[in-house]
Amino acid sequence: MIASTFCPFKKGMTLRISVAQKKQLKKSLEKMKGLFAGNSKAQGALETLLEELVSIEASAEDSSGGEFSLDPKFKERYDWFGFSDGACRGNPGPGAWGSVIQRPNEEVIFEGSGVEVQTTNNRMELQGAIEVLKFLLNEGLYEDGQRVILYSDSKYVVDGLTKWVSGWKKRGWKKADKKVPENVEYWQELDHLAAQFSELKLHWVKGHAGHPQNEHCDQLANKALDEAGF
């Protein structure tokens, strides 16, 4: 992978940053100030970043909330809403994933993307789903018992995790024809992550059909490819 970004906000876009993220950013910057004590240039740069963070906080707090609405029939049933998509220019070829996470109040707490030089569309679809689950776990956002719904326009991802993986595991990660599944390392990582959630629902949506979050994930992936020069 040659590029990976976490973007709670971008220049020219609606700012989306949670209280927890603000606190973590402040904590990290203050810690760095201590590490670079005596280095006036570093101290100046860190002070500038802290000042910028203050202005970002004000803008974020003045914001009217999330940009994307959630399906009313799911809003009261799930604690976290994840969305992912993959893109590839040539298959195989350069590819990227895009992911978004929202709370039930529609606050966007994460959007990210990443690029690989040589990959496939299916791998990027899998990576997008992986990144959603990794973020919830690694950032300590997920609490045991919470319900998570993950949207994907890839039937490969949805059917794979809900229908195929259990059989592959019983056969020692082999298909019925005794061959190793394609992209097995991605499937193993996704399965390992999924097992750490009390309730995880995979929900398929039709791609390029106007679903706001799915369209945005596609835009994130394609923008990442553009910025990487592909």
CA atoms 140, 22, 201, 159: torsion sign: negative
Per the CB < 8 A criterion, the answer to whether 181 and 190 are in contact is: no
- 82 in active site: no
Catalytic choice (85, 111, 116, 131): 85
- Which amino acid, one-letter code, is at 72? P
CA 166 to CA 159: how far, in whole Å?
Answer: 11
Q: Catalytic site residue 208?
A: yes
Residue of 95, 114, 116, 125 with catalytic role: 125
One-letter amino acid at 50 equals: L
Query: Which candidate in 51, 65, 185, 208 is catalytic?
Result: 208
Catalytic residue among 116, 131, 153, 216: 153
Tokens of 171: 């056969």
List 111, 116, 131, 218, catalytic entry: 218
79 is catalytic: no
Q: Is 218 considered catalytic here?
A: yes
Query: Considering only CA atoms, which of 112, 166, 106, 165 is closest in space to residue 135?
Result: 112
The question of whether 226 is a catalytic residue gets the answer no
Q: Which of 86, 114, 128, 160 does the annotation list as catalytic?
A: 86
Q: Which residues are tagged catalytic? A: 85-86, 125, 153, 208, 218
